[in-house]
Amino acid sequence: MLSACASDALTPRHRKPDVLTRAQAWSLRPIAAGSFSLRAALSPPAAHSEGAVLSLYLEGDGMAFLGPREISPDPTPSDPTALRLALQHPVNQGPVAWLARPCHYLTPTQMQRQCHPRLWTSHRFGEAAVAAMNQALDQLKAAYPEVQSLHLYGYSGGAAVALLLAARRDDVTRVTTIAGNLDHQTWSEGEHLAPLRGSLNPVDFVDRLRSIPQWHWVGARDDVVPPYVARRYMRALNSPRAHLRIMSAFDHHCCWAEQWPRLLGEQTQSAAAAR
């Protein structure tokens, strides 16, 4: 399937991060992590005080499938929602970065060398993918010597990755998810989908996550990852430090990017009041 690609020319959706970041002077770079080359974007250089927080946005699953039973030959997102959110994050609060998932934004030749369809289907949250993202996070953090802690923001499948990363690190002081798949077993059973047998599941790590402040934003009209998935995770987590907000007019795509400055402001005010 992958070898059928005859050209290494990048499509418009592969070039979307370049288009989105250029206007705001963000820098794009590849990060070698494990056996993967991951795409990252960093906010413009600025002076930050010692002890700064790096806000890192993790992209969603992208185009894992073309139809109910047809696996996509390239999971690169048609529109990188997490990047659109990151570009609206206030940079005066500290550096901001975005990280794509394994097998996104690769040329066909790179896909042949690095990827197998299981990496964006059954193993999308598998150990190899999560470990690579963790290595990339270490490199991004090292790019800012003044940074001591991390706030992770995950959209859709990136939400699961954010929680899995937080569960294995000691420098994550906040996790925020948007339309997140927080319990893929509940999700696959409820939506009658093939189980992600090769993937780690955030709900299995709630003992390590319970002490981390969390905000989970969910759309009431989301029919991709319905609200019951987040509710199941919240029951298992059972933590007063975790907050679930279900937005009545939102679905999986609308209207996160459009409303993100307002939602982020509400979250910041709520976090400040809780301290």
Confidence of residue 50 (pLDDT cuts 50, 70, 90): confident
In our burial notation (b when 16+ CB lie closer than 10 A, e otherwise), range 41-71 reads bbbeeeebeeebbbbbbbbbbbbbeeeeeee
Sign of CA dihedral 195, 196, 200, 206: negative
DSSP secondary structure code for residue 224 in this structure: S
Question: What was the pLDDT predicted at 165?
Answer: 98
Predicted TM-score (pTM) above 0.85 = yes
Tell me the C-alpha distance between 257 and 166, whole Å.
24
Question: What was the pLDDT predicted at 1?
Answer: 34
Residue range 167-177, pLDDT digits in tens = 999 999 999 99
Beta strands at 96-99 and 36-42: parallel, antiparallel or unpaired: antiparallel
Question: What was the pLDDT predicted at 5?
Answer: 40
Residues 190, 226 contacting (CB under 8 angstroms):
yes
Tell me the C-alpha distance between 275 and 267, whole Å.
13
Residue range 160-213, pLDDT digits in tens = 999 999 999 999 999 999 999 999 999 999 999 999 999 999 999 999 999 999
Residue 104: is its pLDDT beyond 70?
yes
